[in-house]
Structure 1
Amino acid sequence: MTALPAELPALPSWDTLVVAPSLVLAPGPVPVSIYADEVWSLDPLVANPSAPRPGLDWSRFPAPVLPQVQLAAWMMINTPLPTSVLVGHPSWHSRLGPVGIYHTVLRWQRFTAWLHQQGLSDLHAVTEDVLVSWAGHIARQPGASRGNVTKDLVALTRLWAFDAAGPAPSGMAMPPWHRLGVDDFLPRAAGAGRGENATEVISPATMGPLLIWALRVVDDFADDILAAWVESRRMAEAAVRAPGTPESKARLKRYLQDLIDRGQPVPSRPNASYRHALAHTYIAAQVGCPTSQINGLQVTEPWQHLLGYVDANPGPCPLETPITGRIDGEPWTASIDFTETRELMRHLGTACFIVLAYLTGMRPAEVLGLQTGCCPDVASGRHLIYGREFKNAFDEDGNHHSAGRLREVPWVAIPPVVKAIRVLEKIAPADGLLFDAATHTFVNTPTPSTTSLRYSGLRTRIEAFVQWASRLALRLGRDGEVIPDDPHGAIGLARFRRTLAWHIARRPGGLVALAIQYGHMRTAVSGGYAARGRDGIHQLLDIETARATADTLTTLHDDLARGVGISGPAARRAIHAAAQAPTFAGSIRTHRQARDILGNPALTVYDNPRSLLMCVYNRDRALCHRLDAGDAPRLDRCRPSCANIARTDHHAAQLLQHAQALEKQAASEAVPDPLADRLARRAAQLRALADRHEHDRIHPQEPIS
């Protein structure tokens, strides 16, 4: 039998701890389950603040098999998988984390329910033939994938192994796939699986205004929102502390009666029973009375009409904090309402998350694991963010470490990211998580916790932020900044990371909202992630750059096949590269595929729509690198005399369109003469480039195929 921790008995009794004390990872007090509980909490095994905290619910297991499965689960929680079972399975882990344990037991539950339907009462009845029948059953289910079926089969291998290693083995047969491999028991392969590289990017039409509003809230609105929150908390405390005296009650009556006599609206808040109800706390703080006097007043006979009056005459609860945030020189709001401060604080926290997740390339768990002080101030140079990584954190035995590990190399932070962290540090508890779950509820004065906001809650907050920002855009007459729905559905959390890589690769010379250059982001992010081992964001950048290159060459190949002409000193190199497009047509999902393309000097073709040209990159001929010679062009530094330039008929047509637009501006009487002269000269230059293309354009000598 596999050795149990010394503090646990060889055979558990009803009061035996589910998790041995020596295995507890969670900081602070956590629920502690005993063997007799119907639900076993796995909280003691969780140290990642953003990780889910599942429990094992035994109520759905068939009664005859339940004791055997519970004993196997108890063994799985407290002991490693026997070494003999790991032989031949180098990717297996001897210990699972709490989520892995939860899903494994969930697969046991489905298996034992099927056993019950077959009239089999316990694990002793599970022969090799029964296991083969189960494998065929799950493989035939609608939508069954090889990945999910593999997980089901491996879960049963663990059930067999921990049952056999336990103090009371049932005699369950060894699964045949453990000896023969799983391939023969899986459904037919059907395409590539999902994963980070297959995650859909957030549409640029959605990401652009979303980032604009997130940055605007962090940079321009944060001080106003924080000041309003502090004032609302002060007013709430004042309402609680105010003594109830005859004088305070008289002030309250005079305050309300004056509003009614003048037909003025009364400070109100949304209410479930009425459309509007008295804003008790706000009024109490304004008058200097306790809220109990307001509650008592409105039920007395002379004031029973008050609720109806408020419902018909609802008024705002403006705070007196100044509004310093501006949009194009105008205040973003006339005032902040007492009743909306909690919602605005949630939006502020959400905006900070969006900025951090998108402009660093961190995974969601890495963002949610950041703590106050993670980004120290520096006198000069780049700000660095010190945090933990969770995905690739393994101990010496190859098992996942729930608490993660400190990154050997910190992240690089650009100024908007630093600003977001500074805002969060004003919200978060000292030495606590930036996204502390209790603090970010913004309810009274919560006790700091050891957990962060959960993924599900943040997804909801992001969708709420989108709706709020779009309403604000419409109210301010900025219809172009309404955030449209993303064509691939909810924005979620995991899509920010790949979207950053997509934008850097696809728009290296373009601008992120509010003038953050993607070219600079490539330098910051790539430098910050250099030499971090496998699966860093630099791999995502390579994949997205390779996809952009493949798309450019495929488009060029199709254009040339239709008779489109091409010109420029690099025209023939571009034709040669386009001829190879069909050899890598299709989906690029792995880093190896990306490196094969990026490592081929004959395929380094980059479209640059901002400069109306195509770069057929040759490092030795590039003029975009003055002192340094990079592996990729600096498309924000394209030079007209560079030997790497090529243009197609499409580029020439765009040159003429741009020239016409400049000429129209130059002809306007509203344009000063010096500016008109510059516009006219630029238009002439563009027309000259288009004429040169028309004169020099060539076609492939042979059909592109």
Structure 2
Amino acid sequence: MTSAYTELPLIIPGPESPSIEPLLVVASYQGTVNPYSAPTWPMAPLIDNPSAPRETIHWSKFPDTTREEFRLVAWHMVNRALPDTFLTGKVPSWRTRQSGPSIYQAVLIWRAFAHWLDKRGITSLDACTEEVFHDYGLHLSRKKKVSRSTVGSRLTALTRLWAFDEGSALPRGIAEPPWNREGRDDYLPAATSSGGENATEPLAPATMGPLLIWALRVVEDFADDILAAWAEKRRLTAQVAQAEATPASRAALKAYFNDLVEQGQPIPSHNYRGGRRFALTYIAGLNGAPYGQTNNVVGSRGLGLKEYMLNNAGGCPLDIPVTGLVAGKPWKLSLDFTEATALMRHLGTAAFIVLSYLTGMRPQEVLGLRTGCCPDPESGRHLIYGHVYKTATDENGNYRSEGELRDVPWVAVAPAVSAIRVLERIVPDGALLFDGATHDFINRRSFVGAVTLSSWRSRVEDFAVWVSELAQTLERPHEVVPADPNGAIGTERFRRTLAWHIARRPGGLVALAIQYGHLRTAVSAGYASRSRDGIHQLLDIETARATADTLTTLNADLTNGVGISGPAARRAIHAASQAPAFAGTVFTDRAARAVLKNPSLAVHDNPHSYLMCVYNREKALCHRRTDRRDAPSLDRCQPTCVNVVRTDHHADQLIAQAEVLEKQSVELVPAPLAQRLQARAQRLRDLAENHQRGRITLLETST
């Protein structure tokens, strides 16, 4: 017996049949596959994506009445593919065969449907008529706080329930859902703003600035110290495990403690549940003794060490130098045995932040990188070679869990290369840079794949807390990481934040760490062969949003009587007059490109140079004549350029900055530098005076 839904014979699985057929198990999976009748079906045998979650289907959570019917349909969804003809008219995201995580999510949706059926006394799938699906579709659409896309994915899963039942060996006769023929609009909530990355709020500069500064410091300045501390801790721990209890080792321990007591020195200890405990492994390692013998010695009544330790509790300094500096001073006085594990965790997190922010990669792409992904080039820039997973499909259009090699590598800026080099010192050759087993420094558990995204979310938050405490300790309160006004930092917001900073080039700590113009070139080059895919869309959208905000602010200023000057003043006024059209706009990629292609809207604020650029490529002085860029190089603005305009606000900022420089020239510096500061201040005052002489207002242009 065969079906149009598969070229393989249709079979009825028995209790001991594998829940996942052997041909579908990925090569990297080394475990067992549960049988069909097992209470759980782990999805791990289907997953080769290092960042994908390894979820498990729990059949006990289905109602007793329909559990076995859903189990049979699920088995067909796991082990059989839909026909290509079924995809006719479907959106491109439909696949004849799904990934392990997608199958798991579909079964979760089926489970909710099963409980809804059970509450209505429906005990078999053969009672799932078109009317039943209609009622359930309306039920989904009326749920509060559920997005249109979420309801859409649930309807899709129920369509698959019908499709795989129809093509199974024992079909229950489930009716075709009405939305599959008539469309989904009647079953979807009202459309809201676009979701995904475009709707994700970028991290505030006040949060991203110090977070990035500390991540770079940890990777570039502290890594050697942290790795040395970790190596020394492992050496001492291994020494303890191999040590044997001998009279000599016992004598060495007693002599060690006697010396500490006689000299009034603290005893190595650590915090444990609100109290202090002997640092037994550290002490044993220092003295070449086993753990058990060390524990016996500290418990000896005759020595009285416990009371002495509680009154003289000390740390566990490692005998390694501290080489990392912050503002010319060591970042720590010493490295402690008890903190080495946490420091390694923070080092991995710092590398994750640097790569996530400075490459423009999606989190899953970062977690898919392996050692050797960024070889040293013979010339030119470093390139990062990796896999993509989100869009990876085989020749039949089905999802490929193992991903596929990216068409073009990412271009790496120097800090990203440093992060990769640090990670290559942590994990074994050929392993994932964020290999879960290696990066589980605390529990040392066995993992398959990379550290999960949920774990990185908590690690990033922990990192922000740690570096904030370090900033206070080092008397750098301006580098504390404040809470982001839009919630947790997470892992998905770095790409959007990168696009925001490149488009707007704000000041602050991020500006100190990164040159935006160079970074935009590097990041964009990494997506060159993928047309407008990926971060290009985010860059376009953020640039369009920045343009809209600039025009809106300028329009409001001009309406309120603010003056404007410069060769491009009238062009700027014309562009600002179009600002009301952007009110309430939610930018899509298409809308953003329409704005960017409109030359009359090309107004770029440049607060660092106290001006705006009304960009005309043919007249721009920031580019060479052969340079055909579509955007200005705001780090090379020329005061004599015909694209320059200034408002009264810019003139006020020029005067304020001139006053700051004049004050510095008097109070803070020697004479030669003072003269340069005074000259700079005078140039700023001249620009402000030129503005006052040439300023016009909106009223003047209309008369």
For residues 584-603 of structure 1, what are the structure 2 equivalents within 5 Å?
584-603=582-601
Q: How does 1:271-310 map to 2 (within 5 A)?
A: 271-272=272-273, 275-303=275-303, 305-310=304-309
Once the 2 structures are TM-superposed, how far is the Cα of residue 54 of structure 1 from its aligned partner? 1.1
- Specify the code of the residue in structure 1 equivalent to 2:478: G
Secondary structure of the 2:604 match is: strand
Q: What is the match of residue 16 of structure 1?
A: 17
Task: Measure the CA separation in 2 of the matches of 1:110 and 1:390.
Answer: 28
**Aligned runs of 1:195-344 on 2, under 5 Å?**
195-272=196-273, 275-303=275-303, 305-344=304-343
Give the one of 172, 178, 181 matched to 1:179.
181
Deviations 1:390-433 (A, max 9, x none): 12212223222211111111000111111111110000111111
CA 1:230–1:7 in structure 2 vs 1: closer, same or farther (change >3 Å)? farther
One-letter code of the match for 1:656?
A: I
Aligned-residue offset at 1:167: 0.8
Aligned structure 1 segments of 4 or more residues deviating by more than 6 angstroms: 3-9, 444-447, 508-511
Which one-letter code corresponds to 1:365 in the other structure? Answer: Q
Residue type matched to 1:162 in 2? F
Instruction: State the Cα distance separating 1:296 from its structure 2 match.
Output: 2.3
SS at match of 1:615: strand
CA contact (8 A) 1:588 1:594 kept: no
State how far apart, in whole Å, the 2-side matches of 1:691 and 1:514 are: 30
Q: Which residue of 1 aligns with 2:138?
A: 136
Q: CA RMSD in A?
A: 2.0
Shift of residue 616, structure 1, vs aligned partner: 0.2
Q: Which residue of 2 aligns with 1:109?
A: 111
C-alpha distance in structure 1 between counterparts of 2:491 and 2:546, whole Å:
23
Q: In the TM superposition, what is the alpha-carbon distance from 1:194 to its structure 2 partner?
A: 1.8
Distance (Å, rounded) in 2 between the aligned partners of 1:446 and 1:42: 20
Deviation at residue 535 of structure 1 after TM alignment? 2.7
The whole-number CA distance in structure 2 between the counterparts of 1:397 and 1:510 is 49
User: Aligned AA for 1:604?
Assistant: A
Preserved contact between residue 213 and residue 513 of structure 2 (Cα < 8 Å): no
Matched, 1:688 2:686: yes
Mapping for residues 354-373 of structure 1, pairs under 5 Å = 354-373=353-372
Q: Is the 8 A contact 2:550 2:604 kept in 1?
A: yes
Q: Distance in 2 between matches of 1:78 and 1:565?
A: 70
Q: Given the two structures, how large is their TM-score scaled by the length of structure 2?
A: 0.96
Q: Conserved in 2, the CA contact under 8 Å of 1:659 and 1:682?
A: yes
- Aligned residue in 1 for 2:576: 578
Q: After TM superposition, give the deviation of residue 509 of structure 1 in Å.
A: 8.7
Scaled by the length of structure 1, the TM-score of the pair is 0.96
Q: How far 1:96 sits from its partner (Å)?
A: 1.5
Offset of 1:528 from its aligned partner? 1.9
- Whether the 8 Å contact between 1:509 and 1:635 is mirrored in structure 2 is no
Shift of 1:300: 4.1
Q: 1:565 aligns with which of 560, 563, 566?
A: 563
Q: What is the SS of the residue equivalent to 2:37?
A: coil
Partner of 1:469: 467
More moved, 218-227 vs 311-320: 311-320
Residue among 126, 129, 143 paired with 1:127: 129
Change (3 A) 1:445 1:553: closer
Unaligned runs of 5+ in 2: none
CA distance in 2, matches of 1:54, 1:651: 56
Q: Taking structure 1 as reference, are residues 63 and 245 closer, same or farther at Cα in structure 2, changes over 3 Å only?
A: same
* C-alpha displacement of 1:582: 1.4
**Residue 630 of structure 1 aligns with which residue?**
629
Alignment match, 1:80: 81
CA distance in 2, matches of 1:337, 1:531: 48
Matched, 1:166 2:165: no
CA–CA separation in structure 1 for the residues paired with 2:188 and 2:505: 42
Whether the 8 Å contact between 2:215 and 2:353 is mirrored in structure 1 is yes
Structure 2 partner of 1:60: 61
1:523 matched to 2:524? The reply is no
- Structure 2 matches for 1:152-163, cutoff 5 A? 152-163=154-165
Letter in 2 for 1:112: A
Q: 1:173 and 1:9, CA in 2 relative to 1: closer, same or farther beyond 3 A? A: closer
The 1:629–1:339 alpha-carbon spacing in structure 2 relative to 1, beyond 3 Å, is same
CA contact (8 A) 2:12 2:169 kept: yes
CA distance in 2 between partners of 1:600 and 1:488 (Å): 32
Partner of 2:656: 657
Map of 1:484 onto structure 2: 482
Please identify, of 353-362 and 588-597, the stretch whose mean Cα deviation from structure 2 is larger: 588-597
Q: Deviations over 1:135-157 (max 9, x none)?
A: 12222222233222222222221
CA contact (8 A) 1:570 1:643 kept: yes
SS of 2:613's equivalent?
Answer: strand
Q: List runs of 5+ in structure 1 lacking aligned partners.
A: none
Task: Indicate conservation of the 8 Å contact 2:620/2:643, yes or no.
Answer: yes
Contact 1:198 1:589 in 2 (8 A): no
1:608-643, Cα deviation, whole Å (9 max, x unpaired): 000000000000000000242311000000001100
CA distance in structure 2 between the partners assigned to 1:436 and 1:573 by the alignment: 55
- Conservation of the 8 A alpha-carbon contact between 2:383 and 2:409: yes
Distance change in 2, residues 1:692/1:564 (3 Å)? same
SS at 2:121 equivalent: coil
Identity, % of aligned positions: 56
CA 1:577/1:181 → structure 2, altered by over 3 Å: closer, same or farther? Answer: same
Cα 1:230–1:699 shift into 2, 3 Å: same
Structure 1 residue 470: deviation in Å?
A: 0.8
**1:389 to partner: Cα distance:** 1.0
Q: Work out the CA distance in 1 between the residues paired with 2:10 and 2:302.
A: 72
Using the TM superposition, give the Cα deviation of residue 667 of structure 1 relative to its aligned residue in structure 2, in angstroms: 3.0
In structure 2, how many angstroms separate the alpha carbons of the residues matched to 1:146 and 1:319? 56
3-state SS of paired residue (1:302): coil
Q: SS of the counterpart of 1:512?
A: helix
Contact 1:68/1:163 (8 A) holds in 2: no
Distance apart, 1:297 and its partner CA: 2.6
- Could you tell me which of 510, 513, 523 is aligned with 1:512? 510
